[in-house]
Structures are given as C-alpha cells and as structure tokens.
Chain A
C-alpha cells in the first residue's frame, strides 16, 4: 500500500483508519467458501507475522507463547484494543470473516502500534471463517478466553444452523478452550440470548459462572462497553443478554 492512498483512508492526526473507507455489509454468509489462506494445522500459523515483537525471526521459535484469547467475529476490533492493555503479556487474535473489516482492524492495530511504542503488540486479526477453521488455528486446550460479542442473530428458523453458537460448534470451542477457560457471549437480541444460554446450559462441557466470579472478572464490564456494537446498543438504551460459562471436564 502506497502512502498516497494511506493518507486519504486514514485520519491524518491519529494515523488510524477511517471507517467510511472500510464499509461492509453487516451480514456475511458463513456458508459460502470464500478464498482465504488457512493454516493446515496450528503450528503452521505464522506467529512472527502477527506478533513480530514477540517473535523476532520466523525461523526461530524460542518463545513458547501461544494465542490465549480469541475474539470470534471481532468486528472493528474494539474489544481487542481494550483487552490489549489490560493483559499486555497475553497474545490475542480477532477473527473476522468480512474482508474490508479485517483490513480496517489490521490498519487500526498497525496505527496504534506506531503511535504507542511497545503497546498493542499482543493483538492481531485474521480473516477466516471461525465456524469451520477453529481446529486449524488452535490446539487442544490452548485458549483461556473466547469471545462472541453481538453475533449475527440469523432470525429465520431455517437459518439457525448458521448461528455461531450452536450445540455442535460448542464441541469445537470446548476443544480449543483449556479446562477452566471461559466463554463470553453477549447480545441485544433477547431470543438469541435465550438460545445461546440454552446451548451452553445443555452442553456437558460448560458450566455457568457464579455472580461473585462475574463481579470479580474485569473483562465482563468490557463486553457491553468496549465494542462499537455495544456502544450503539447503550446509546439506544437497549438491553443486553449475557451468557458466560466455564469449560469443564464432562
């Protein structure tokens, strides 16, 4: 990308990308197999490309650090940016299926890294279909936290199978999460909130977090405030529905 183009798509003062140049439809069909490269297995994922600060040379893997937080459907990256400074030593990844939105998040992270030396080195984004390729990116029990913020509700009953939280997909998320790892879901659509809670409740490998634990977890407050979607809901005075569960052995 040439500087010439960057000057118009990015804000001159902050160096951050301007959203209107990265507009995309809110919905993307998770059933269509668009073409983006997917690692064949987790160790093929190029950590040095995404986290150069932690992995200086691509041939050496002295660091045994692995991604521990995954934001599924990260949108414009709001949650990742908030979590980055809260957990500066934890590697995190955002997964987004929309091409332009992924580009926006990439540019946003690069911009933040440039203007805040030493910071934001632990977050990155990848364009992928997380409903199909979670096992390609993450080994068994690798993740400590998984986030599903304001997922597409897919209102029609015939499209319920496209929902990112479903009884069968929870098997894969349980596989990627370590025992004790936490899955965070939030939505402003009541029916979807009921659905996600029901799926998690019925799944033998998840148990609900108690009130005291939720109070003590600094991440919980970010769910409704950190993302653009969450802020929009708050502006409109909407209600949100959370389902936060822990991965257990069945």
Chain B
C-alpha cells in the first residue's frame, strides 16, 4: 500500500463511511409488534391488527434527527427504547406508542439495555460512559422519574457495543471495541453508580460486537455468548469470568481463506441471538448470505455449529436479528441508510425463518415473503415496495462492512502517515 501517496484523503472518506448506519430490527416479546429502524427513520408494525403504527410524540419534536443506533423492547414488552447519533434516547410505551421520555445526552449513543423489571434504562455513549434513567411503575403504567440520566460506570475511552442485564438481574454486562467484556454487580442503589466489578471476560482478539444469554433450566444465570470482529463466538461463565468455549465461526463456515486470515481480513460476527427455551444460537456473520446456527451443550459447556442456513434469492447478508420469546420465528434484517448511488434514501430487506426452536424434530424453514407473519403487507410497510437491484445489496453489504471497521477497528497508521496526520493538530503553539 502506497501510504506516502495517500495523506489526508483517509480522513474525509472515513467521515462519509461513519454516517452509514445498519438497519435494525426488534421484536416484541410476544410478537405483538415489530420495529425497524433505518437511518433516522423508525417504523413500527402491529402484527395483531395487521397495520403500520404511528408513533405519538407529545413533545412535538420530530423523532430522531440522525441515525438510530439501537432499538429494544423490554422483557415485559411494555417499554421500547430507541437511541442514536442524534444524542437522544427516547422511551416509548409499546401499547399506545406514546413517547414517555426524551433524554438528551452529551455524546452519540451506541448501546441500550432495559432492566428486567423495567425500572431502569441504561445507555452507553461514544466515550464509554454508561448512563442510567430511572422509571417508575404505577398501576401497570411506566413513567419517567427524572429526565436527567445518571452516570453508572464507564469503559474508559472505548465505544460500548452491547449492554445486557443478566437473566437473574444480578449483573450488568457491557462489551466494548477494545475486546473487553465487563461484568459488574448490579448495585442495590443503581443511582449511586455500579462500582463493584465482578469480573472481566477476556479472550476476544478484536472488538466485541454482540452479547446474549443462553438459558439453561439448571443454571439460573445461564451462559453468556459473545460475537466479535475476530470471527468467533465465545461462551462464558459470568460468575467466574472464565472462557468456556470458542467457536471459530468464520473459519469453520469456510468463509476465511488462509491468506485472507494473514492479512487480518476477518469477517466480523455482526449479531447473534439466543433462541428462547432452547440452546440454539442464531449468528449473523459478514459475507455469509444467511444464518449460522450454533448449539450450546450446557453440561459439557461447549459450542458447535449445527446448521448453516443459506437464503436463496437476492444477496441477503443480515446484520441484525430478532426473536420473540413466545413465537418460533427468527427475523433478520439487512439494510442501510444513505447508500451512495442509490435512488431512494434507504435500502431495507427483511426475511424470516420459522421452526427456529427445532422442537419435536422440527426443521427450520426459510419463509417466502408471503409466508412471513404479517405477509407482504408487513414487508411493504416496513421495506417499501421499491424493487432493488442485486448489485445494490452487494454494495450495501460492502458499505456496512467498511462502516463497522471504521467505527470499531483501531486504525493502524504507518509512521510516515502518523507524522503527516500530526501536522494538522491544533493544540501546539505556533513557533514564530
């Protein structure tokens, strides 16, 4: 690479790539509704009524002004949270779709989590600080106690990519781009901060991108699974911080060529989702047009690939997954905002797989558009009915991959390039 010939263009290009955000999908715990976010657009579909929903924001501010980076339903299904690059966290009641709170942050938000009892919403900012918002519940209705968020813990100077409350509620787990997973004791008085670190789960050799818990009937806490830019999914015991198993998803799925591995060209795991009531984990990984299913053996404490489900049709590489607690459907989305060269402002494609719990020898089946819950009507409302060309999908996947690297992988500058970059620093006194 002729580093010497490419001085400052890198900077400009990076900025454009950073603005590109992946589409997100979230499913209500009982699959009552489905939410999709692309760019600053938040779209919700009611599966029971069979219609798109409009969001009510009494503060009269237009919803999100910049790319939404995280959306989530609470475990009890009553709360929904959205947050992103506009430095705003919005909390919604998912029955009426009223916005019960808009919290302003100093920095862009990268991850959110809702406590199991719905009384706390956590969000992480770009600088690595995790903030807490306190809610209260009266007669089954949730409301904000205070519009001001309180800092709870921090990963110094690191972007937090995923936040989770453990199933028992005893721990708060946070993962960052510096390969670390931190397990903190959930404090008795959360507003006083979460100071007691229980352990770290260390072992990934690249940014950690996603977290989830695999439930086990014997173990209350279950096991933590994490996906990373190092192409692996790892299994952890958060009570000790020990690494139980590593599944080299990228390598085993035959995605990595040996020469590519040397160049450090890893295919990152973009999302994973533990399937409720079983030990299956659905994994989305860059360059794979489908889903890879892993199985967790609870007694042996290991992970293995059980199935690789390819989706035929367009080049669909999902980057975000969603499953409800009760239904047997895995939802997948691929999408991007502001793709250069695209006529419309965004591209979204949603697909679904049924039979994901694989109970009673059931096999997972990729659903056609008409078979998806909500059918073509849902897809029209959420995707838009514009037909998209094949190369747009490929271009989108490439752009998303670049954006993820740009955001989460530390740039390595050659000594020459670093010196050139230092020339533009503005904190030095000018020599006369």
Binding site for B on A (CB under 8 A): 30-31, 33, 35, 40-41, 131-132, 135-136, 140, 161, 167-172, 174-175, 203-205, 250
- Interface-side segment among B33-41, B199-207, B266-274, B308-316: B199-207
- Interface-side segment among B15-23, B152-160, B291-299, B393-401: B152-160
- Knowing A161-B127, A168-B153, the reply to whether A135 touches B195 (Cβ < 8 A) is no
Interface centre among B184, B197, B205 (most CB of A within 10 A): B197
Shortest C-beta distance, A8 to chain B (Å), equals: 23
- A40 pairs with B205, CB closer than 8 A: yes
- A169 pairs with B195, CB closer than 8 A: no
- A31 pairs with B157, CB closer than 8 A: yes
4 A-B pairs with the lowest CB-CB distances in the bound complex, closest first = A168-B154, A41-B202, A175-B197, A135-B200
- B151 pairs with A168, CB closer than 8 A: yes
- Knowing A41-B202, A41-B203, A135-B202, the reply to whether A30 touches B193 (Cβ < 8 A) is no
- B195 pairs with A132, CB closer than 8 A: no
- A136 pairs with B156, CB closer than 8 A: no
Q: Can you name the residue of chain A whose Cβ is closest to the Cβ of B129?
A: A168
Shortest C-beta distance, B153 to chain A (Å), equals: 6
- B157 pairs with A167, CB closer than 8 A: no
- A203 pairs with B202, CB closer than 8 A: no
Q: How far is the CA of A40 from the CA of B202 in the complex (A)?
A: 6
Q: Which residues of B lie under 8 Å from residue A167 when comparing CB positions?
A: 151, 193
Q: Which residues of B lie under 8 Å from residue A171 when comparing CB positions?
A: 153-154, 184, 194-197
Q: Can you name the residue of chain A whose Cβ is closest to the Cβ of B156?
A: A131
Q: Which residues of B lie under 8 Å from residue A33 when comparing CB positions?
A: 410
Shortest C-beta distance, B178 to chain A (Å), equals: 6
Q: How far is the CA of A162 from the CA of B206 in the complex (A)?
A: 24
Q: How far is the CA of A170 from the CA of B412 in the complex (A)?
A: 30
- Knowing A41-B203, A132-B158, the reply to whether A250 touches B127 (Cβ < 8 A) is no
Q: Which residues of A lie under 8 Å from residue B156 when comparing CB positions?
A: 131-132, 168-169, 172
Shortest C-beta distance, A203 to chain B (Å), equals: 6
Shortest C-beta distance, B171 to chain A (Å), equals: 14
Q: Which residues of B lie under 8 Å from residue A250 when comparing CB positions?
A: 195-196
12 A–B contact pairs at CB < 8 A? Answer: A132-B178, A135-B182, A135-B200, A140-B199, A167-B193, A168-B129, A168-B151, A168-B156, A169-B156, A170-B195, A171-B153, A174-B196
Shortest C-beta distance, A94 to chain B (Å), equals: 20
Q: Which residues of A lie under 8 Å from residue B203 when comparing CB positions?
A: 40-41
Q: How far is the CA of A35 from the CA of B196 in the complex (A)?
A: 30
Q: How far is the CA of A66 from the CA of B330 in the complex (A)?
A: 47
Taking CB atoms and an 8 Å cut-off, the chain B residues in 190-233 that contact chain A are 192-197, 199-200, 202-205
Q: A140-B241, A171-B154 are in contact. List 4 more A-B contacts (CB 8 A).
A: A40-B203, A140-B197, A175-B197, A204-B195
Q: How far is the CA of A41 from the CA of B242 in the complex (A)?
A: 11
Q: How far is the CA of A172 from the CA of B205 in the complex (A)?
A: 21
Q: Which residues of B lie under 8 Å from residue A140 when comparing CB positions?
A: 197, 199, 241
B180 at the interface (CB under 8 A from A): yes
How many chain B residues sit at the interface, stated as a range, is 20 to 34
- Knowing A40-B179, A40-B203, A161-B127, the reply to whether A132 touches B196 (Cβ < 8 A) is no
C-beta contact mask, B403-426 vs A, less than 8 Å → 1, else 0? Answer: 000000010100000000000000
Q: How far is the CA of A205 from the CA of B412 in the complex (A)?
A: 38
Q: Which residues of A lie under 8 Å from residue B192 when comparing CB positions?
A: 204
Q: Which residues of A lie under 8 Å from residue B410 when comparing CB positions?
A: 33, 35
Q: Can you name the residue of chain A whose Cβ is closest to the Cβ of B413?
A: A35
Q: How far is the CA of A203 from the CA of B410 in the complex (A)?
A: 32
Q: How far is the CA of A169 from the CA of B195 in the complex (A)?
A: 9
- A135 pairs with B180, CB closer than 8 A: yes
Q: Which residues of A lie under 8 Å from residue B157 when comparing CB positions?
A: 30-31, 131-132
Shortest C-beta distance, A176 to chain B (Å), equals: 9
Report which of A35, A135, A136, A174 forms a contact with B412, defined as CB distance below 8 A.
A35
Q: How far is the CA of A135 from the CA of B151 in the complex (A)?
A: 21
Q: How far is the CA of A190 from the CA of B99 in the complex (A)?
A: 47
Q: Which residues of B lie under 8 Å from residue A204 when comparing CB positions?
A: 192, 195-196
Q: Which residues of A lie under 8 Å from residue B153 when comparing CB positions?
A: 168, 171
Q: How far is the CA of A148 from the CA of B203 in the complex (A)?
A: 28
Q: Can you name the residue of chain A whose Cβ is closest to the Cβ of B427?
A: A29
Interface centre among B154, B158, B194, B412 (most CB of A within 10 A): B154
Q: Which residues of B lie under 8 Å from residue A31 when comparing CB positions?
A: 157
Taking CB atoms and an 8 Å cut-off, the chain B residues in 106-155 that contact chain A are 127, 129, 151, 153-154
Q: Can you name the residue of chain B whose Cβ is closest to the Cβ of A34?
A: B418
Shortest C-beta distance, A170 to chain B (Å), equals: 8
- Knowing A40-B205, A136-B202, the reply to whether A203 touches B195 (Cβ < 8 A) is yes
Q: Which residues of B lie under 8 Å from residue A40 when comparing CB positions?
A: 179, 202-205
Q: Which residues of B lie under 8 Å from residue A41 when comparing CB positions?
A: 200, 202-203
Q: Which residues of A lie under 8 Å from residue B194 when comparing CB positions?
A: 171
Shortest C-beta distance, A88 to chain B (Å), equals: 31
- Knowing A40-B203, A132-B178, A168-B154, the reply to whether A205 touches B195 (Cβ < 8 A) is yes
Shortest C-beta distance, B14 to chain A (Å), equals: 15
Q: How far is the CA of A30 from the CA of B128 in the complex (A)?
A: 14
Q: Can you name the residue of chain A whose Cβ is closest to the Cβ of B411?
A: A33
Q: How far is the CA of A175 from the CA of B185 in the complex (A)?
A: 12
Q: How far is the CA of A94 from the CA of B153 in the complex (A)?
A: 26
Q: How far is the CA of A170 from the CA of B195 in the complex (A)?
A: 8
Q: Which residues of B lie under 8 Å from residue A35 when comparing CB positions?
A: 410, 412
Q: How far is the CA of A228 from the CA of B154 in the complex (A)?
A: 32
Interface centre among B179, B184, B200 (most CB of A within 10 A): B200
